[in-house]
Structure 1
């Protein structure tokens, strides 16, 4: 950006010429993606956009209590949380941030779910997988009724945010029984009637 730009016949001051404190205050009202873009305008902008003042505004308030890491800046902490989820809740949940928006992403482990007959060795086994972020995963052996339920406190989620829920699982070559059975999915607030969707 040039120091002085011509716009509609008037001189427009350069944003990057403002004091670092002013730039940081403005950028903290934007988004992580905007902060990264604005940091490329000039060295002055980069200094302000990389400051803890800016990145503190993008981190959830509970981050200092939830996450304990040795980092040199809050920007580094932010991107660490985006790229490397941390385990919380006695290792039964993982906590990360969406890189673009900074919204919280929570994943429940199999141990945090309610699995029908999950403690019956004839139907399920508990094992570990090298690529799993959790210590244990549930392996289905054989059941005639597959029902899995999960619950999370809405207070753990980012307010004013649309969320999607996913069931993450791995199919083995020897698996069977899912080809012709419809899957019914329900999502609801505790105490409310479920919104249910059936899918093949």
Structure 2
């Protein structure tokens, strides 16, 4: 009964409730509770290496899993249990991305992905990515970030205006420009 009630809260609440008493601790560590915090469609490779659903939950929070041939990273937000998806550079459409004069593909220490794109020279930067809305957690506000690293030898970005566009397939784009 306690486990069922706790399963209607959040992962953070379950961890706090576990400190109330031994009965609450036992209920809060049950698979009934943690099954409710895990998305039903999750990478199966992790499930085999853990002994409880609570352990699986925190494993997915702390150690993102590479899926889709290593081109996507899947993890969970520790407090809410919502999905966090990161696309690799290879999963994106980068204008001139396969042209060696403009881009190179290399390994970067500490990157979660096997390859990263290195900009050599280009007159504009256009990157497109797509993710199925079915992969996302329902009723959740999401943010999109372009993660990049600037090397000491890089130049040219500091004075360029940026335009960002986000949309759902078939919808008009919402644009934001900065100077």
Same fold (TM over 0.5): yes
Give aligned pairs, total: 179
Find the counterpart in structure 2 of residue 48 from structure 1. 27
| 1:72 to partner: Cα distance | 1.1
| 1:63 to partner: Cα distance | 2.1
- Greater length-normalized contact order (CA 8 Å, ≥ 6 residues apart): 2
In 1: Cα distance, 2:58 partner to 2:29 partner? 12
Scaled by the length of structure 1, the TM-score of the pair is 0.87
Long gaps (5+) in structure 1: 1-21
SS at match of 2:59: helix
In 2: Cα distance, 1:64 partner to 1:186 partner? 30
Kindly provide the CA deviation profile for residues 108-129 of structure 1, in whole angstroms up to 9, marking residues without a partner as x.
0000000000000000000001
| 1:34 to partner: Cα distance | 0.4
| 1:53 to partner: Cα distance | 0.3
| 1:199 to partner: Cα distance | 1.7
Which protein shows a greater Rg? Answer: 1
| 1:70 to partner: Cα distance | 1.0
| 1:64 to partner: Cα distance | 5.9
1:133/1:53 Cα in 2 relative to 1: closer, same or farther (>3 Å)?
same
Kindly provide the CA deviation profile for residues 103-155 of structure 1, in whole angstroms up to 9, marking residues without a partner as x.
00000000000000000000000000110000000000000121111110000
RMSD between superposed Cα atoms in Å? 1.0
1:89/1:35 Cα in 2 relative to 1: closer, same or farther (>3 Å)?
same
Q: Is the 8 A contact 1:66 1:88 kept in 2?
A: no
Kindly provide the CA deviation profile for residues 16-64 of structure 1, in whole angstroms up to 9, marking residues without a partner as x.
xxxxxx1000000000000000000011110100100000000000126
Alignment of 1:138-157 (within 5 A): 138-157=117-136
In 2: Cα distance, 1:163 partner to 1:61 partner? 19
Scaled by the length of structure 2, the TM-score of the pair is 0.97
| 1:68 to partner: Cα distance | 3.9
| 1:65 to partner: Cα distance | 3.7
Superposed structure 1 runs of 4+ greater than 6 Å apart: none
Kindly provide the CA deviation profile for residues 172-196 of structure 1, in whole angstroms up to 9, marking residues without a partner as x.
1111111111110000001111000
